[in-house]
Amino acid sequence: MPKINKYVDIDTVEREAKKDLIDRHSPFIHCKETAKAGEPFEVTVKMGNEYTHPDDFDHYIESVALYNKETLLAKATYVPGTLGNVKAHNTTTFTIIPTTKKLNLVAHGYCTKHGIWESTPVIVEVEE
């Protein structure tokens, strides 16, 4: 089983290089707080909040996956150079159809050099 790195609040980290490493590899989930059951619901996952990630041929974000608890909902895979070989925020928007009363969303981003990184969970209430 590969190691999964988890986001820590970079305001609690002293070294700038460590803040950069943590932030640019961490997925951040952006979505509404409520959804309607059975209707399309958009969830955007942005890799990095303050710091951007490279898009080099040997160091890039290969994939972004969205889970509801342990259930994989969607996954996007990228090839190097997708962002034009520049430092940027890989941003992926997934459209899902909620079927449960509550979503417990977690995202994973996979960096080819630094492994799997997990977001902070986001709870979404699903209305009938």
Whether the Cβ atoms of residue 97 and residue 40 lie closer than 8 Å to each other? yes
Look at residue 1 and tell me whether its pLDDT is greater than 90: no
Q: How far apart are CA 50 and CA 44, in angstroms?
A: 16
* 71-89 residue pLDDT tens: 999 999 999 888 777 778 8
**Residues forming beta bridges with residue 15, ordered by sequence position:** none
Q: How far apart are CA 94 and CA 41, in angstroms?
A: 8
Flag whether the pTM goes above 0.85. Answer: yes
10, two tokens: 């970079």
Q: How many Cα atoms are found within 13 Å in the side-chain-facing hemisphere of 22?
A: 15
**Which domains does the chain possess?**
4-126 (2.60.40.730)
* 5-41 residue pLDDT tens: 888 887 887 877 778 888 899 999 999 999 999 999 9
